[in-house]
Amino acid sequence: MFYRENGQFKTSYQADQQIFPIVQDRWFMLVLLLIAFIGVPWFATDYMFSAILIPFVIMAMAALGVNILVGYCGQISLGSGAFMAVGAYGAYNFFARVPGLPLIPTLILGGLCATVFGVLFGLPSLRVRGLYLAVATLAAQFFADWMFLRIKWFTLDTPSGSVSVSNLQVFGLPIESDVSKYLFCLILLCVVALLAKNLVRGAIGREWMAIRDMDVAAAVIGIRPMYAKLSAFAVSSFIIGMAGALWAFIYLGAWEPSAFSVDQSFRLLFMVIIGGMGSIMGGFLGAAFIVVLPIFLNQFLPVLASWLGMTMSTTVVSHAELMIFGALIVWFLIVEPHGLARLWAIGKQKMRVWPFPY
């Protein structure tokens, strides 16, 4: 009834090719952006910013990057944590060694370091595929762990190997308060998401998808597998590297290599699988699921217990949190193997036909 594209005619190629061809979608996006930029800072508390929204925004960016590689190009990667680490430490080294380097170029340089690293570790993808590639990219993870633990040059010879940044600013505006951090990350996320959306809609995105669906057929119709695969690795690790730099600079402030351990790689892969492979929306939904749900459970379970007249110790809560979280993952994957983004699409379809489903 409300969500229907009847009567919306496209009279130009431009209108036909826009990201949101349906008017309602455009309005929805506008409202969403207004809420994200104006509404959320209005009501969110410091806690929501620093513990939920900022990690969510940064992880959404990382998941977006992983989705390009895994979801669009079909190259399973377990090296995402390493790409984040390279982005973070790359940006840190530029930031600490080049005096007066502004923050945004620093982040971009960090992303470029991750790009180089990603392409390098993407080379095995030309020979191996599927699960074997996952194992090969795992090497990137172990290599990064080793590199940032052992090569002291990267951590500026700090005695404990932990590094930190402070006095961040953009165009003279300090990035100190939680609101400014959130808005900064959000702006970057919007830019990156727009970029990614347009890339996957364009020729290069179609190449990636052709490789994902059947690489031999893609090669036969004239798509260069090497170019397509390595460009997917490059773009994806650039985005993941930037997200890693943001995670370190904005969210943690001080970090050590264990912040980007293999757990992080798995979390990112789960985000993409649960959120929906091959969907920009999926990255956001998956990040919300993996980042926000455990924290929600952790805080909600004691409240629930107190309603039932019980008290829960923190141990019980954190065990229950893990169990419920695991059960929910299984449940979602059974109900909708294509991820939350597919649920979203089904929801939209239902809205279109509502109130006459048949």
Partner 1 sequence: MGHWQAENARLAFPVLTWVLCESNLKETKMKKPVLLLSALLTSVWLSATSSAWAQSKEQFVPVLSYRTGPYAPNGTPWANGFVDYLKLVNTKGGINGVKIAYEECETGYDTARSVECYERLKSKNPSFVQTLSTGATFAITEKAPGDKIPVLTIGYGRSESSDGAVFKWNFPIAGTYWVAADTILQAIAKKEGGWDKLKGKKIALVYHDSPFGKEPIPLIQERSRNHGFELQLLPVTPPGVEQKATWLQVRQSKPDYVVLWGWGVMNSTAIKEAQATGYAREKMYGVWWAGAEPDVKDVAEGAKGYNAITIQHGAEPNSDIVKTMLTQIHGKGQGTGPKEEVGQVLYLRGVMSAMIGIEGIRSAQERFGKGKVMTGEQVRWGLENLNLTQAKLDALGFKGVMRPISTSCMDHMGAAWTRVHTWNGKAWEFTSDWMQADEQILKPLVKATADKYAAEKKLTRRTGQDCQS
**Comparison of 218 and 246: residue with beta carbon closer to partner 1:** 246
Total chain residues near partner 1 (CB under 8 A): 53
List the x/- string, 37-56, binding to partner 1 by CB under 8 A: ------xxxxxx-xx---x-
How far is it, in rounded angstroms, from Cα 14 to Cα 30? Answer: 19
**Comparison of 108 and 343: residue with beta carbon closer to partner 1:** 343
User: In the set 98, 319, 333, 353, which binds partner 1 (CB under 8 A)?
Assistant: 319
44, two tokens: 């969110």
Cβ count within 10 A of residue 34: 11
Interaction of residue 301 with partner 1, rule CB under 8 A: no
Alpha carbon 15 to its chain centroid, in Å, reads: 29
How far are the Cα atoms of 112, 145, 323 from residue 244, in angstroms, in the given order? 12, 14, 28
**Comparison of 219 and 261: residue with beta carbon closer to partner 1:** 261
Of residues 189 through 248, those in contact with partner 1 by CB under 8 A are none
Of residues 120 through 179, those in contact with partner 1 by CB under 8 A are 149, 159-162, 164, 166-167, 176
Query: Least distance (Å) from partner 1 to the CB of residue 313?
Result: 8
List the x/- string, 243-282, binding to partner 1 by CB under 8 A: --------xxxxxx-xx-----------------------
- Exposed e or buried b for every residue in 260-286, given b needs 16+ CB within 10 A? bbbebbebbbbbbbbbbbbbbbbbbbb
Q: Which residue has the tokens 């502004």?
A: 102
Query: Least distance (Å) from partner 1 to the CB of residue 154?
Result: 14
User: In the set 108, 116, 209, 317, which binds partner 1 (CB under 8 A)?
Assistant: 317
How far is it, in rounded angstroms, from Cα 180 to Cα 349? Answer: 37
| Max CA pair span of the chain | 68
Interaction of residue 313 with partner 1, rule CB under 8 A: yes
Cβ count within 10 A of residue 196: 22
How far are the Cα atoms of 132, 136, 288 from residue 52, in angstroms, in the given order? 35, 33, 9
- The footprint of partner 1 (CB under 8 A) covers 28, 31-32, 35, 43-48, 50-51, 55, 96, 149, 159-162, 164, 166-167, 176, 251-256, 258-259, 285, 295-296, 298-300, 303, 313-315, 317-319, 335-336, 340, 343-344, 346-348, 350
